[in-house]
Structure 1
Amino acid sequence: MNPINRFANLDRRVLLSSVALLSLLTPLLRSTSASAQTGPDPLPSWNEGASKTSILNFVARVTTQGGPDFVSVDQRIATFDNDGTLWIEQPMYVQLAFILDRVKALAPMHPEWKTKQPFAAVLNNDFKALAASGEKGLVELVAVTHAGMTTAEFEKITTDWLATARDHRFKRPYTELVYQPMLELLAYLRANEFKTFIASGGGIEFMRPWTERIYGVPPEQVIGSSIKTRFEMKDGAPTLFRLPDINFIDDKSGKPIGINEHIGRRPIAAFGNSDGDLEMLQWATLGASGARFGLIVHHTDAEREYAYDRQSHFGKLDVALDAAAVNRWTVVDMKKDWKRIFPFE
């Protein structure tokens, strides 16, 4: 045989052997890359365990080019609840604390509130009477504290309040009572070309002035409840005037509707902490093809934060907790899974 042909045959045998070996190793290499991390830990405030692993594995699956679960960048949408998922919601929602403080600030201009419910309940710190006023009473409070002004005026009011208000237990601004592990998760997803959205039952214009600074989520990626607004020319300038009428409630079944209207794409990952997030998690993970991910933050740490779930008046986690087991959503045990809760720890 011609020496050149003998070399060619030998080269081909070596090549084919290498290809065969590579084909045997490929599944092992893929499984290793899904669990092993190179470089700095992207989630340093998360303890090693099933919750952290589930996040890392999901991101590896949907970002591995050529892999069976690869998701194109334009489809990498993740939605996050805010209250109880990204920041504190006990002993009451932060926006409710804003409402109560705002009523007290406006009270000198409304002497009739001393004897008129639900305002008298707020002024007397009578939370039993306030609760008895129900949804009707809350709507009244929202009307006087959130409406009757331009959107720019409301933004200034909320921004000023957040700059000075302090949580009674931690004695810190509410914008410091955000969860460090979730901040890392947001950053990790964005580093892997996810677009992160907030889908909250809180007021959309209450959140938008500060979410980019605190979470890295710009205002156009915030979905929330809203009241109606009206366009007006005021002193020759165009304004949007806030009206005392509810426009949209972005909670429970409203969340998938809000997500669809604002984003126009179905998320492949959703993160919540309460029954109010159930439908959002279902919308993101059920009845759709491809890799999907749902996560629930379970508040289990009474020492560092709060422990609550099925019986809580704020952030009740009951039906969604049961659904998590059925649908194989990740349930984060704050006490076990998080090394620290807040950035300042």
Structure 2
Amino acid sequence: MSNNYWFFLLFVFLLTRCTVSPEETSKPPVLPLWNDGLVKESITKFISEVTDSNSANFVEVKNRIAVFDNDGTLWCEKPIYIPVELELAYVKSEYPNRPEWEEDRFFSGLAGDNLAVLNDYSTVDIITKIFSAQAGMKEEDYKDFCYKTLSEVKHRKYNRPLKELTYSPMVQLVHFLQANDFKVYIVTGGEITSVRTISEEIYNIPKENVVGSSVLLKYVSDENGTYLVRTAQLNSNNDKAVKPTNIELHIGRKPIFAAGNSDGDYQMMEYTLSGNGPSMAILVHHDDEVREYSYMHGTENAVEDAAVKGWHVVSMKDDFKEIFAN
């Protein structure tokens, strides 16, 4: 045989060894909006193990529950919490119709965009006063107001509608979990109705998978029809130790994955990692003053105890390729 023939066989052999299969070329990258590193590796490893039926850490689909905080975890919470921006918009729109508010320092301050007035009230007091302002309002009207405000009011720094201020790497993580047969829930201190109005649109999370703070609703059936109205009575302040109790009340299964960003999520992450079986918790740390904000207030305990408690700290600066979608 000629040397050319042997060279031809060698060429064919090398070509078949180097060619990538169609399956490999069509396989999309995992979490492409996350930078490679320990956090991304830990997340993907955990999800791979709990979804592999041959793994010792395999978890049945019915028990693949993931819970995410919202403010500061899925969307921006600075310089003002978006739930507070919602209520500011409501107070401003209603102020001309409420002459009694002129003598109320809280409402008159908010109507004039004097946010310093909030420092004089506890979180519970603020929630109580805001909810009282909407007493008697039809729940459907409140839904319309929330969706309109989240769609039209723009963020004070980024000049984009509030509902667009989602962290795209975290939204991608939600979708990745869903693609691996996780049921993903939002467990937020924000008001439940407002988050439900946009959860499907911006996160692909069904509204029934939202757990949040709430007021008691009143059932009405009169000459105007049958409807629900909001009352001034706080039903649940879904924060800190209340989060695990509401997870049990609304979900009925303990999560195996949790994502938070503050001390308000401490107990939820702690609860997720309790007991036997595989579990994981991540803590989103705001340390990117260029692309977003850098702050520790309200997160000190969660960050300090992360290593001892076993939750992974996500550096927005180092772990996210982008913060907000273009």
Q: How far off is 1:117 after superposition?
A: 1.7
Match of 2:290 in 1: 303
Segment of structure 1 superposing worse, 153-162 or 276-285 = 153-162
Q: How does 1:215-230 map to 2 (within 5 A)?
A: 215-230=203-218
Cα distance in 2 between the residues matched to 1:239 and 1:226? 17
Gaps of 5+ in 2: 1-23
Distance 1:164 1:66 in 2: 49
The 1:154–1:333 alpha-carbon spacing in structure 2 relative to 1, beyond 3 Å, is: same
Alignment-derived partner of residue 307 in structure 2: 325
Tell me the SS of whatever aligns to 1:247. Answer: strand
Is the alpha carbon distance of 1:227 and 1:37 closer, same or farther for their aligned partners in structure 2, counting shifts above 3 Å? Answer: farther
Instruction: Give per-residue Cα distances to partners, 1:246-272, cap 9 Å, x unaligned.
Output: 001111001001100011000001000
Structure 1 counterpart of 2:73:
85
Aligned counterpart in structure 2 of residue 140 of structure 1, from 129, 141, 151? 129
Q: Distance in 1 between matches of 2:316 and 2:154?
A: 23
User: Is it true that 1:272 corresponds to 2:260 in the alignment?
Assistant: yes
Determine the C-alpha separation between the residues in 2 that align with 1:247 and 1:37.
Answer: 52
Distance 1:342 1:128 in 2: 28
Letter aligned with residue 293 of structure 1:
M
Find the partner of 2:146 among 133, 137, 158: 158
- Could you tell me how far apart the structure 2 residues matched to 1:37 and 1:164 are? 41
2:256–2:273 CA contact under 8 A, matched in 1? yes
The TM-score normalised by the length of structure 2 is 0.89
- Answering whether residue 22 of structure 2 is matched by residue 40 of structure 1, we say no
Query: Sequence identity, in percent?
Result: 37
Alpha-carbon shift at residue 54 of structure 1 (Å): 0.6
Distance between the aligned counterparts of 2:25 and 2:63, measured in 1? 24
Q: Equivalents in 1 of 2:137, 2:100: separation in Å?
A: 21
Report SS of the residue matched to 1:244.
Answer: strand
Aligned match of 1:127 in 115, 133, 136? 115
Comparing 218-227 and 231-240, the one that deviates more: 231-240
**Mapped partners of 2:212, 2:77: distance in 1:** 16
Matching residue within 254, 273, 279 for 1:292: 279
- Aligned counterparts, 1:61-100, within 5 A: 61-100=49-88
The offset of 1:237, in angstroms, is 2.6
- Indicate yes or no: 2:318 matched with 1:339: no
Kindly state the Cα deviation for residue 113 of structure 1 after the two structures are TM-superposed.
2.2
Q: How far off is 1:73 after superposition?
A: 0.4
CA distance in 1, matches of 2:300, 2:121: 25
Provide the aligned length of Structure 1 versus Structure 2: 302
Structure 1: unaligned runs, 5 residues or longer: 1-35
**1:116 maps to 2:113:** no
Matches within 5 A, 1:180-259: 180-235=168-223, 237-259=225-247
Aligned-partner SS, 2:73: coil
- Distance in 1, Cα, partners of 2:295 & 2:242: 24
**Alpha-carbon separation, structure 1, partners of 2:300 and 2:26:** 38
